[in-house]
Structure 1
Amino acid sequence: MTLRERLNELPAMGSTLVYGAPHQTPDGATIITVAAVSGWRGSRPVGIFVVRDSEVKWEPAVDASRIATLGVITGLVAATLGTLAVVKTPPWPNMRFWDIRYRTN
């Protein structure tokens, strides 16, 4: 299969929702999966609809690793900015040897 044929198989560059086939659970609930399909990224789960006793409930799919990665990156950026601020202007007094030796009081 050539690259051009593979590119023609990709969906349009907009993001579209795709609904899966309904599944029945043993307790009588019906589950319908929802996925978002976008151009180069492929598809990712968005959530599920749970239909039970004529009530519909939406359960979003939460990517915990993405949230954890965002927290780690935020911490690293804060630590880097704090380190740069201390290195640039340290909070301790200026104690160079030249200043101490030739200080006039």
Structure 2
Amino acid sequence: MNVDELLGGVRDSLRAQMVFGEPIERDGTTVVPAAVVRGGGGGGGDSEHNGGGGFGVQARPAGAFVIRDGDVAWRPAVDVDRIARGALAAFAGLVVLRMLVGPRR
């Protein structure tokens, strides 16, 4: 795979359609879903033009724009799993801190 092919794949992968979904319209309300999209890539080679490369994309829901009667509102997506992991990590951090500091007298 050469650099042009790699960049072509990046260009095809990262486009507005990955961030903004198709609008959904019902009863006078339009909802446009949105996502957070991240990508990265790299490549390398040697003096004999042998090499390789790769690219990865990650996407997760961010929320949606809700359009009703000419007004636009942002409704964030709530990732309950992410909130629970954060709360668990905070609790574990407090337990470790308490163990390191020791009981108060």
Please give the range of the TM-score, normalised by the shorter of the 2 chains: 0.5 to 0.7
Deviation of the 1:66 alpha carbon: 0.9
Give the aligned residue type for 1:36: V
TM-score normalised according to structure 1 size:
0.62
Q: Which runs of 5+ in 1 are unaligned?
A: 93-105
Higher-Rg structure is 1
Cα RMSD (Å): 3.2
Q: Which runs of 5+ in 2 are unaligned?
A: 40-55
Deviations 1:32-56 (A, max 9, x none): 1111211145111111011111111
Question: How many pairs were matched up?
Answer: 84
Aligned residues with identical type, % of pairs: 36
Q: Which has the higher strand share?
A: 2
Give the aligned residue type for 2:89: I
Contact 1:24 1:31 in 2 (8 A): yes
Contact 1:11 1:37 in 2 (8 A): no
Distance 1:72 1:35 in 2: 25
User: Counterpart in 1 of 2:64?
Assistant: 48
TM-score normalised according to structure 2 size:
0.62
Deviation of the 1:9 alpha carbon: 3.4
Give 3-state SS (helix, strand or coil) of 1:81's partner. helix
